[in-house]
Chain A
Amino acid sequence: MSSEIILETRDLKKWFSVRSGFFSRTKKYVKAVDGMSIEVKKGEIFAVVGESGCGKTTLARMIVRLEESTDGEIWFDGIEITSMPQHEFRKYRTRIQMIFQDPYGALNSNMRIGDIVAEPLRIHSVYASVEEEIKKVKESLENVGMTPADDFINRYPHELSGGQRQRVAIAAALALDPNVLIADEPVSMLDVSMRGQILKLLLELREKMGITIVFITHNLAVAKQIADRIAVTYLGKVVETGDAKQIIDEPNHPYTKALVSVVPVPDPAVQREKILLTGETPNPIDLPTGCRFHPRCPFAKVSCSEIEPELQLQKDGRMVACHDEEEV
């Protein structure tokens, strides 16, 4: 892994407008992503973790421009891609690919596996001859462990198991030899016994192809297993980011601390103190003032409701957005 940054978001925002009333003039916004900054290094697996509604999926969709950002910048390989018109972005589209959570819904059930994997190649007119295309499709399928590829190209998605379908989705995403793969909860819908296969595959692909992976997940235990670095998000903002093991083993931000403490552990002998946060994540339409975590934070001070903390570099190299951590 090099220290070169391949993907970066700077103060990225996505506000969805909602109608508050027919005659109402004031527009309200759901601030799904509200100033998210992440830095992804070349060849690393970077996990974005958080609860539902924290903006992790919206972030992923903005990076591949399935969603246009409201404000902020996305830098890919030294180029700013948010302000670029869609037709110009097309050539970068081949270099950033995405896979989705639901391996059942993501594949067109009327298409054969071979066609599904070949489709991105056809859309981007990569190969002139059919032979080359078939060769690439087989290579992609074999890359994801669907061997021998000949057994699979003429089959339909319903003939495959969930794990195999997710492999096909990955094969289609990799057919264009992208630099970055955005994986949105790729194992959440799979059985625990199957998850490991897909996680190992992602690790192998990183080894073999040097691909960079942005791994979106709500599961901290999975993030710990696979990620090099993580960003923990809360209500559209990053609260803590840095080395994955360091942060999960010793979280600094009160939200990360609480989140790690409540993840159930598959070992009844372990007795841990849980930090149960009261209430639920506030509505992203009416965000709290100051630090957006302060109404639920066990350590909140008066200043927390007034000033919003910025991500600050800590001694150990991580970044934390909390007033309590600034003096460190």
Chain B
Amino acid sequence: MTTERSNHLLEIKDLNVHYETREGNVRAVQELSLSVDCGEFVGISGESGCGKTTIAMTIMQLLPREGIVDSGSIQFNGRETLEFAEEEILDFRWKGISMIFQGSMNALNPVHKVIDQMKKVILLHEDTTEWEAIERSLDLLEAMGIERSRGDAYPHELSGGMKQRVMIALALTCHPSLVIADEPTTALDVMIQAQILELLKQLREQTSLSLILITHDLSVIAETCDKAIIMYAGRIMEEAPVDSLFASPAHPYTRKLISSFPSVLEDKEIDFIPGNPPDLINPPSGCPYHPRCDFAVDICKTKIPTLESKNGIRVACFRSDEI
């Protein structure tokens, strides 16, 4: 493990995570390095099973028992989180980094009032009075566009969009410097999604909050993030500022992913990626994407391309210069 102190808010280095299953080891995240700075919004995208959620769960130290971190380091504010003791983990969750879960409308406890759930988080982490905790929770709900009186509601009395906002409010209760949002708007209607994304953008302007936005929806990343990371089979294929990623994708996978994505503004031809997502128990040799890649040559079948930095982006492809 490195002892070098990182200057980034969050820095992940050479992370390897696998899940033990009866069929064999699923190599969910491999040789992953990424960083998030203060106030930065980072989007992580890729097909199902590419390891997006595993990264989030590893950062939060919420991996199931089968999930094992083989090696790597995750530094948050210069401290190695993978070496945290149990109390340190409890302290760092919510206060340091909080998470908005996938399908979070089901993450709220149905038998407790919204306000009680929020209050509890604050009281658990901070030495304040109950009255203050309630006040702060109500202020947050109000900032999320929910009336203060709705604090007394049970989750089932709220609509899907409101529950999602409660979840965002909950994630912000202890003023974390980083929020991880795993598919925060996937189950919501476009109108509610637009309202939630607007809320996130406002947060960015008003605070120095950093966000990792995990989603399969590239258009959501295009509209909210500064930097995008495209993953495939547990590896980063490309990392670039959002503008350049969409204007001139450097990796063939990114290209194909963008061209497969329909838009209401363009008359796009229907496109798709042939073949199936890779088997992570027996991943293909060489570049994991080569069986589906239009540009694959012999070297792609035998050697795994390293993620290299050039012109302000990082890309893992032997032929990215020619593309």
Contacts and interface: CB of A to CB of B under 8 A. Distances in A.
Nearest to B45: A192
Contact of B216 (A192, A259, A264): A192
A218 B189 contact: yes
Interface residues of B, number: 43
Given A51-B191, A258-B191, A280-B159, A265 B270 contact: no
A225 B222 contact: no
Given A191-B48, A221-B263, A264 B217 contact: yes
Given A194-B272, A226-B270, A280-B192, A264 B220 contact: yes
Contacts of B285: none
A268 interface: yes
* Size category of the binding interface on chain A: 35 or more
B191 A259 contact: yes
B48 A277 contact: no
Nearest to A274: B194
Contact of A196 (B159, B162, B271): B271
Contacts, number: 121
A266 B219 contact: yes
Contacts of A291: none
Contacts of A225: 262, 268, 270
B190 interface: yes
B246 interface: yes
Contact of A221 (B193, B242, B264): B264
Interface string B160-197: 01100000000000000000000000000111111101
A193 B161 contact: no
B190 A192 contact: no
Contact of A193 (B159, B223, B257, B265): B257
B247 A269 contact: yes
A266 B263 contact: yes
A145 to B, nearest CB: 11
Most buried by B among A192, A196, A269: A192
Interface in A152-193: 161, 163-164, 191-193
Interface of A: 51-52, 161, 163-164, 191-197, 199-200, 203, 218-222, 224-226, 245, 248, 258-260, 262-270, 272, 274, 276-277, 280-281
Interface of B: 47-48, 159, 161-162, 189-195, 197-198, 216-220, 222-223, 242-243, 246-247, 256-258, 260-265, 267-268, 270-274, 276-277
